[in-house]
Structure 1
Amino acid sequence: MAIETVKMDHVAKKYIVMSGKGGVGKSTVAVNFAASLALQGKKVGLLDVDIHGPSVPTMLGLGDERLVGDGERIFPVEIPSIPNLKVMSIGFMLQAEDAPVIWRGPMKNGVIRQFLEDVDWGELDCLVVDCPPGTGDEPLSVIQLIGNSDGAIIVTTPQNVASVDVSKSINFCKQLNLPVTGIIENMSGFVCPECKKITYIFKEGGGKRLAEKYGVPFLGALPLDPAVGEAGDSGIPYVTQFKDSPVSAVYETITRSLV
């Protein structure tokens, strides 16, 4: 049965951030991608549809926020330090950060539709949707409900075990007629803060080879920086703390090329 799409004429561009495998830093990429867009003056919405493991609230220091509405509309959470960024997550519906969500597919579909249809996003230049790993209910619901997304941004790491799973995500998009905007290789290499030498801990160039194999754009390689993990735990996006770093420069290049 066909799913009725949600009207989102108030959003100029819609990108779905996916990964075929967990642990590749997909949510970190989604948060910093959205924050980088906002820092460039774009009006951005960040929707976290990782129902069972919402990490966006923690990464943005919003762990104590709860859902607010007026009976007709749901209001996204805004961040004073990043005025152009609005956020919505299942995490805002939980009584505690460590509360599990034990839902089957139809309930997931229902809440994702509500987040797309009933949230008062206002006029947005870009909506960034952070999906859980894999090709299950959540990314399928998002793709079908949005209908006319600008494409998927797929996150991988350089090693083969990640590339195999990411290949499945690319083919998943093709089967659903969703354009693949491009591949981002995360954890690309560790840059020594003292000598600046790059050590490729997880091999080298896996994301670029994958992009060439499937004929999709390679958006960029993000080097490892210990401060990225520290920023995620602190609740302040890396790109807002380290604007002049090599990692932030890659994010800026990626966002300017897409929007």
Structure 2
Amino acid sequence: MARKALQALWIHLTLILAVLLVGSPLLFAAIKATQSGAAVNSADLMPGGHFWDNLRTAWNGAKLGVYLRNSLVVATGITLLKVVTSALGAMALVYFRIPAKGVLFSLILLTLMLPTDLLVVALFDLVNRLGWANTYPALILPFAASATGIFLLRQHFMGIPSSLLDAARIDGAGPLRFLLSVLVPLSWNTIGALALIQFIYGWEQYLWPLIIIRDSDHQVIQVGLKSLIGQASGQTDWGMVMAGTLVAILPPMVVFTLLGRQFSRGFVLSESK
């Protein structure tokens, strides 16, 4: 009994230490976001009373609100498109008779080995030829499909009895009706997990928006935060930067809070199958 109690104590101490290590940068940013002037650059770790002033400066003077809106549009657009295309692709791979289906699925998985950075030059040339530079389509459409999403939903759909498809056909339901009325209701947890992953992926976009967007009215929050550094004559208002950073992490935290349960259940169901 004493041994189990000691093990539990060590486990809890380890978890507390891990939380402190992971949370200390966020706590430091939260403290500095409340300070201004010389206090931000000092070793003072006492909270100040300038958070709303710093946030107001970032929101109005540094266009933080515009960057935040753009990131919401881009992340939401990427999420919706990836979920839709992944569901359609997974349904086709599982329920349709496609020649060389296994080869096609292998080719889809091979795209996971191609990082986005490797495709930047080709994407840049294509987007410029289409005249999409400095637009939302340039930020959303190149990421409209997801091999990870197709793989995840395919594995889930394979666990759904094919007899449901036969029953749907007898009732006169077409492929889209089968997808919307049968597969989607049975896959909410997996879809929620995929949506969470893709939203965070879209929210964290930095390199591609930095390259393709030259108009600040269409820039995203990650690049916008970088523009706050050294904004005024080479001097950086770190209180404003930290306040903007805290606001920038709120949407992913809200989405994770809303979809966290589906995220856990989705992967548990996938592993159990």
Q: What TM-score results when the alignment is normalised by the length of structure 2?
A: 0.23
Q: Which has the higher strand share?
A: 1
Structure number with higher helix proportion: 2
Bigger RCO of structures 1 and 2 (CA < 8 A, at least 6 apart): 2
Q: Which has the larger radius of gyration?
A: 2
